[in-house]
Chains A and B, each alone.
Chain A
Amino acid sequence: MRELTALLAVIVVAAATLGVGVFGLRVSRTTSDFFVASRRVGPFLNASAIGGEYLSAASFLGVAGLVLLRGVDMLWYPIGWTAGYLLLLVFVAAPLRRSGAYTLPDFAEFRVESRAARQVASWLVCLIGALYLVPQFEGAGLTLSAVTGAPTWVGALLVAFVVLVNVVAGGMRSITLVQAFQYWIKLCALLVPALILWLAWHHDDSPTRNLHSSDWVEPLQGPHAAYLTYSLILATFLGTMGLPHVVVRFYTNPDGRSARRTTLAVLAMLSLFYLLPTAYGALGRIYASDLVASGRTDSVVLELPERVLGGTGATVLTALLGAGAFAAFLSTSSGLVVSISGVLSQDVLSRRFGSVTGFRIGGVLAAGGALLLAAGTQGLPVAHAVELAFAVAASTFCPLLLLGIWWRGLTARGAIVGMVGGGILSGAAVLAVMVGVHAGGWPGALLAQPALVTVPAAFATMIGVSLADRARVPLHVGRAMVRLHLPETVEVDRGSFQPLG
């Protein structure tokens, strides 16, 4: 009964997403439809759409699991994922919208006037996107097996299939309204069970067992805890602006000013959502502490109703949580696969194939590659896997955006060397964690949270190489700065850059 209800809920979400994908094919026929259709969208709707695409498996399941496992220090994950939007707001939001770039490779080409820089940015989008996809597929497998008992690969395949059908059909992302709706589904799917579980806990005379062990309740207990925490802060605060599926959403704002207001609304919505995983983690500590020993902490959100309530109530709540989790995987994965396949088709495949064929092949490559990676890296906590993607984004695109927007001296060579260097450093750490290198002491800490080293290194490289290459500052940097910073109401020449999209 419980399995059937949950399975039904998951199937409904998957079918609804497929339906939207097919509907999207009819609505958005051309590339410009795809991007421009929602140009008149207001900040509230746009912010809901960003939240809908951004809140992934890591937010829905992973944070609660990590809080259950390791306690108060893990609260920095949701803080970082929210504060990342504050940094995006103050440094990037309005200028990025004004640049007119659809994607990060577009921005790289516009700002440093180099096709090579564009290519490097394209490969990085693929790398970061794939890293971010892996935990989505992993989380899907885990959810399906937790609520229905199916083997873990079934859920991963199901999400990959639905996303691919969508991408081939036309991309669900064309419909802002649907992504916006996803945010509210996810919020309700997490909020309603949380309230009911809290009432049940209260009714149960508010037990506090297992909450008092000092290494869980007190901050900064483990070895290298301060380094790990600050490195996590740096990666998440600076990584958000470099996520490929977030950037494209800013283009749907009508101007720079509304891009700022949208970001402010995103911050409010994320703040509301991220109050909840902590509650699940703490309740899990009371009612499901055996998950720590069995290594299944990521499924705490899904298992709590059964343990706290039991009966029909638990069945309904589990189905609701399972459906919400699937909505999270599907919307984030779709956004990522569409971003990756767009970049692959523009910059890698379109010379050999037509652009539509290239787009579809790109989608298959992205989803297939991430599936393989997911199969090879089971056991890594979902939220930590996502955080590694943030570390790579913070070590590559963050310096490109910050220096590109605020410093005239950035050159193509500096941007390329900086992105490649930061990508190799952070990528090596990610690779080591994924293949299961277990180093102790400082090397282990560095591999687990590389950002505090790799981000300054990437900035230093980008600045140093640009200074050495001073003679080759991009020709139109003055015009680029006018375009990036002047409000749209001032009538000036903003240059002729047109994104490839």
Chain B
Amino acid sequence: MTDEPLTRVRITSPRTLAARSRSRRSNAAEIDALTRLGEVYVQSLMRAQLRLAVYVVLLLAGTLGLLPVLFLVLPVDHVHVLGVPLPWLLLGVAVYPLLLALAWWYVRRAEQNEAAFVELVERREVSP
């Protein structure tokens, strides 16, 4: 997730046979051929994105989703904020900034996940 540009290093080898060997195949080619390695790459991205999505849903369930239970259990009906009963204020107004904040955070993190994946796939293997 670093923003500094990576300087591209060209590695050449006089031993062309070795250079063309399977171990030097690019990651994109691994994905194209749907090899075990390619599948692992795809799965890593899917898992990261799914984990993020489930995390957002859990946050939603733990806040918004608990409101009906909260209204049942706690005597919030007679609490007034700014002259408005608390349930009305929560459901009529406060919910929307929460939804927006969750969505904004998700978009940022999902794009970061993808950037990390692109970096991973496009990095050439450099043997020491």
* B-binding residues in A (CB < 8 A): 72, 75-76, 79, 82-83, 85-87, 89-91, 94, 214, 217-220, 226, 229-230, 233, 257, 260-261, 263-264, 267-268, 271, 274-275, 278, 406, 478-479, 481-482, 485-487, 489-493
Q: Are B32 and A492 in contact (CB under 8 A)?
A: yes
* Smallest CB separation, A206 vs chain B (Å): 9
- Can you list 13 residue pairs at the A/B interface with Cβ under 8 Å? A72-B85, A82-B96, A83-B64, A86-B60, A90-B106, A218-B87, A263-B103, A264-B100, A275-B96, A478-B34, A485-B45, A485-B46, A487-B114
The 8 A CB mask of B46-88 against A (1 = contact, 0 = none) is 1001101100110010001100110110000100000001011
What chain B residues lie within 8 Å of A90 (beta carbons)?
Answer: 52-53, 56-57, 106, 110
Given contacts A219-B77, A486-B45, A487-B118, 14 further A-B contacts (CB under 8 A): A75-B91, A82-B99, A90-B52, A226-B72, A257-B111, A260-B110, A264-B104, A275-B93, A406-B46, A479-B34, A485-B49, A486-B31, A490-B117, A493-B32
What chain B residues lie within 8 Å of A406 (beta carbons)?
Answer: 46, 50
Main secondary structure of the interface of B (DSSP, over half): helix
Q: Are B64 and A79 in contact (CB under 8 A)?
A: yes
* Smallest CB separation, B87 vs chain A (Å): 5
In the complex where A275-B93, A478-B39 touch, is A75 in contact with B103 (Cβ < 8 A)?
Answer: no
Tell me whether B102 is interfacial, beta carbon within 8 Å.
yes
Main secondary structure of the interface of A (DSSP, over half): helix
Q: Are A214 and B77 in contact (CB under 8 A)?
A: yes
Chain A: CB-nearest residue to B72: A220
Within the assembled complex, what's the spacing in Å between the Cα atoms of A482 and B42? 7
* Smallest CB separation, B53 vs chain A (Å): 4
In the complex where A229-B68, A264-B104, A491-B28 touch, is A72 in contact with B57 (Cβ < 8 A)?
Answer: no
Q: Are B106 and A219 in contact (CB under 8 A)?
A: no
Q: Are A489 and B118 in contact (CB under 8 A)?
A: yes
In the complex where A83-B60, A233-B65 touch, is A217 in contact with B77 (Cβ < 8 A)?
Answer: yes
Which of A76, A230, A267, A493 is close to B103, meaning CB atoms less than 8 Å apart? A267
* Smallest CB separation, A403 vs chain B (Å): 12
Within the assembled complex, what's the spacing in Å between the Cα atoms of A214 and B77? 9
Chain B: CB-nearest residue to A75: B91
Could you say which interface size class chain B belongs to? 35 or more
What chain B residues lie within 8 Å of A86 (beta carbons)?
Answer: 56, 60, 99, 102-103, 106
Q: Are B68 and A220 in contact (CB under 8 A)?
A: yes
Q: Are B32 and A260 in contact (CB under 8 A)?
A: no
What chain B residues lie within 8 Å of A230 (beta carbons)?
Answer: 68
Which of A82, A83, A89, A490 is close to B106, meaning CB atoms less than 8 Å apart? A89
Tell me whether B95 is interfacial, beta carbon within 8 Å.
yes
What chain A residues lie within 8 Å of B45 (beta carbons)?
Answer: 485-486
Which of B46, B60, B77, B121 is close to A490, meaning CB atoms less than 8 Å apart? B121
Q: Are B117 and A487 in contact (CB under 8 A)?
A: yes
Which of B60, B92, B100, B121 is close to A275, meaning CB atoms less than 8 Å apart? B92
* Smallest CB separation, A260 vs chain B (Å): 5
The 8 A CB mask of B95-124 against A (1 = contact, 0 = none) is 111011011101100110010011001100
What chain A residues lie within 8 Å of B107 (beta carbons)?
Answer: 89, 260-261, 264
* Smallest CB separation, B42 vs chain A (Å): 6
Enumerate the 10 nearest inter-chain pairs by beta-carbon distance, A residue then B residue, closest first: A271-B96, A75-B91, A90-B53, A219-B71, A218-B77, A278-B92, A487-B114, A493-B32, A478-B34, A219-B87
Within the assembled complex, what's the spacing in Å between the Cα atoms of A91 and B55? 11
In the complex where A94-B110, A478-B39, A482-B31 touch, is A267 in contact with B57 (Cβ < 8 A)?
Answer: no
Within the assembled complex, what's the spacing in Å between the Cα atoms of A488 and B71? 45
Chain A: CB-nearest residue to B29: A492
Q: Are A91 and B53 in contact (CB under 8 A)?
A: yes
Within the assembled complex, what's the spacing in Å between the Cα atoms of A218 and B52? 35
